[in-house]
Structure 1
């Protein structure tokens, strides 16, 4: 990219003009309509006494005004910190106070009294955004920033502060520099610009986190963007069918949901392939989906702190290695170096040996960044994931890998999905506990039957001490299973 991201986004927004830019809730909004939000927000912040370089907060939702606000902030070069909307008003208020920003932007419905009071206490200005006129307005009692207060300083070079997926607890913020965000576009598009008349960019992952990559890549490349407020099988399939979507990134849970909904094959006929990311996809589900729909699934790997993917498959790789290395997430992207190290010594491990994955991404810097993922790299450079080091359960000194236990449990014909977590134990420190989704129409397997199944495949210390049967595993808005919510199901808690 020869231009800076800010200039590129601004030029791309301007380039839409009266052409369709974003589809939301069944209606296309033109480039002019989308850009109007950025213009109105800039005007509102200046009227409130907020400096042009001051970072602001966005209580983020996957709605047209929020997408337009993000695009406007990027085009203006203003840092925006995402605030999680899927929490109580009191928790949102706590985030607002902690961030101590000069201004906060939010949907009118998110300006609950606790949030307004929090902004008042720190002297923040507040703007409400809406689909209806006025599209941007000052929030009562928050019309002006209290200039006698010190707010968070400008952060030159930081584009976004996005949220992690919140699997193990409340989402955390990751600062993404502008130049690093530029690699997001490459990791999402593989450097390709879509041809005229190509299907729109399909954006349904949550904008507060890594899902914002889809939005940014679409605008940067001047593509139309079809967005969903949140995932539903009906809405996702409708968008794929209407827009003839050829490829899309999905969470593993989506693949299972599509199968369970028995979506007609013809509704997915436009798909060339799906990319599964953000968590492990069990081979049985992958095989079932590919056999039913004839749509290949490619595995990929990325993380919030890297602003996109680290590994991917190309067509050439698929042609040569697609069958023999089917369970790999591909090779490192061109700007990325990967290695596997021993968790205790940090020494690099030989090809094929599992250990902690470390990455060095050129736009981020020269340092190796250690992940919490256990992986191996073969002699051809292909990466295979084996679980998460921070998810290991320490049962009296014995390490239990939850994903290994889950794989055994879902092999039971009555178990559709499972999640294994560590729960406190007075004698051993931690013990494994499992929640299972039961296949519709099947009886819940007895605990002893499930324990015997695990004993047959894994060491005895991996056997869960208890099981809870649920209709659906508790998931967060990113469609990842919430580990704290699963742990709360433990009957001995």
Structure 2
């Protein structure tokens, strides 16, 4: 990052977009698009919305995909301060249609591939305008003209992004991230890479987090810093590694599932040699996984902690803090970011807990507001201000009065040499209320452990009430578009 992101990110983003000119800006499907091509496309979208009957400040929804037209639309909307509401494309046509009809926004943008009869009908029923986006060639079309009288939730008229939570513990919720807050969000995405002097030969940013979630700020960060970007429609080991190797990328973002995929694929160390570090989050990083990855590739993992409600991370490692303290604090997610305060409170009394004590994490993000937001995450903070997570309080399984944290059981299961990853959830039990159930995904080519073997592993490491009532082996754990394991889908695998 060349300099801290300014508070007025809309102006900075607009200036950044104008700076590329004929130079390459976005690579997608191994083809480069110049800055001028992207800005011309943004102008086409603006003209199509005007033709369809929308004012320049009215909110629009986008059935979002990680493709060039969608990237251009989002960048243009934030730069012009038009509110943009994310609608997941990773759902059925009927579900997309229901979302669109319920939102009743002035305008809906969708890829030409997503303009199903269901979507067309929902847009007409809501009185919304419909805009089709096409990538090859870049084109925009008015599919449905806005009808008078369409109404929407007034809260959606706030400029900025209305993004979706990951939906790991229930249906995704929309969280507003105002334009003024986006500077914090972009900072939280980039602080792990430290201070980077950006020039014409600077390696591009690698962008692949789903645009519907907070990961969309990977997209915003690149033009704010004046960097080119390589866009992937979704994470793919071969394409991710190709981008790193081809463009000599020095920093990128990851999460635990991606680290396991890279290890499982036995990616050559030379292919990742340009990486100076990887910023991470979206889940706990086990010490064993950190040790295995850093030992094999020699790449430091700078973990962070945040949530959609905080518009990004609230704690993170920086290269400097990692050099000084990383070896001594391998389980930590770093220190609070600039403009953020974090405290640990006793879950029963609400009193601030002493250093080293475990309690509920609360955070206050200055740019969002003065209120402390209490999370369901259990954490501790040491005397140096470093935060360590200890699992989620809301996911605790109550087995006949005994509390079990799923992450505690999961950590034992993944210690088995054949287990790549595991998911642990509570399932109903007529006698005890809840009991733990586990699903495990095995390493490629590994021996297949028996269910009793896995249960015994837990029994030897933890009190007996932690032993899952059942352990099933699956080809792949069910994950959402952000590669987070879906607890509800794990529970659905249980057969009493």
When normalised by structure 1's length, the TM-score is 0.96
Cα deviation, 1:307-334, whole Å, max 9, x if unaligned, reads 2221122233223212111211111112
Give the Å deviation of 1:305: 1.7
Residue 94 of structure 1 aligns to a residue whose secondary structure is helix
Cα deviation, 1:44-94, whole Å, max 9, x if unaligned, reads 111111122211100001001100000011111100000011000011111
Change (3 A) 1:282 1:193: closer
Structure 1 counterpart of 2:262: 258
Cα deviation, 1:270-324, whole Å, max 9, x if unaligned, reads 0111122110122222211111111121221121122222112223322321211
Change (3 A) 1:26 1:440: closer
Give the Å deviation of 1:447: 2.2
Structure 2 counterpart of 1:237: 241
1-structure distance, mates of 2:323, 2:156: 45
1:149 to 2:150 alignment? yes
Cα deviation, 1:172-195, whole Å, max 9, x if unaligned, reads 211001111111222223384642
1-structure distance, mates of 2:195, 2:134: 34
Residue 69 of structure 1 aligns to a residue whose secondary structure is helix
Structure 2 counterpart of 1:340: 344
Give runs of aligned pairs for residues 130-149 of structure 1, distance below 5 A. 130-133=134-137, 135-139=139-143, 142=144, 144-149=145-150
1-structure distance, mates of 2:42, 2:172: 26
Give the Å deviation of 1:169: 2.9
2-structure distance, mates of 1:316, 1:42: 43
Give the Å deviation of 1:154: 7.2
- Indicate which of 394, 398, 417 corresponds to 1:394: 398
1:287 to 2:288 alignment? no
Structure 2 counterpart of 1:195: 198
Structure 1 counterpart of 2:211: 207
1-structure distance, mates of 2:8, 2:321: 31
Give runs of aligned pairs for residues 165-204 of structure 1, distance below 5 A. 165-190=166-191, 192=195, 194-196=197-199, 197-204=201-208
Contact 2:69 2:138 in 1 (8 A): no
1:302 to 2:311 alignment? no
Give runs of aligned pairs for residues 17-416 of structure 1, distance below 5 A. 17-133=21-137, 135-139=139-143, 142=144, 144-153=145-154, 157-190=158-191, 192=195, 194-196=197-199, 197-416=201-420
Residue 295 of structure 1 aligns to a residue whose secondary structure is coil
2-structure distance, mates of 1:469, 1:134: 44
Structure 2 counterpart of 1:450: 454
Cα deviation, 1:117-170, whole Å, max 9, x if unaligned, reads 11111111100001134610011xx2x111133334475653000111121233
Change (3 A) 1:151 1:308: closer
2-structure distance, mates of 1:326, 1:154: 41
Contact 2:404 2:466 in 1 (8 A): yes
Change (3 A) 1:73 1:376: same
Residue 130 of structure 1 aligns to a residue whose secondary structure is strand
Contact 2:399 2:465 in 1 (8 A): yes
Give the Å deviation of 1:396: 2.3
Residue 390 of structure 1 aligns to a residue whose secondary structure is coil
1-structure distance, mates of 2:278, 2:129: 43
2-structure distance, mates of 1:489, 1:319: 43
Residue 214 of structure 2 aligns to a residue whose secondary structure is coil
Residue 366 of structure 1 aligns to a residue whose secondary structure is coil
Change (3 A) 1:440 1:23: closer
Cα deviation, 1:184-229, whole Å, max 9, x if unaligned, reads 2222233846420211111111111111111101111221011111
Task: Specify every segment of 5 or more residues in structure 2 that has no aligned partner in the other structure, as ranges.
Answer: none
Structure 2 counterpart of 1:469: 473
When normalised by structure 2's length, the TM-score is 0.95
Change (3 A) 1:18 1:3: farther
2-structure distance, mates of 1:176, 1:38: 21
2-structure distance, mates of 1:226, 1:194: 19
1:439 to 2:443 alignment? yes
Task: Specify every segment of 5 or more residues in structure 1 that has no aligned partner in the other structure, as ranges.
Answer: none
Change (3 A) 1:321 1:3: closer
Residue 147 of structure 2 aligns to a residue whose secondary structure is coil
Residue 379 of structure 2 aligns to a residue whose secondary structure is strand
2-structure distance, mates of 1:2, 1:385: 30
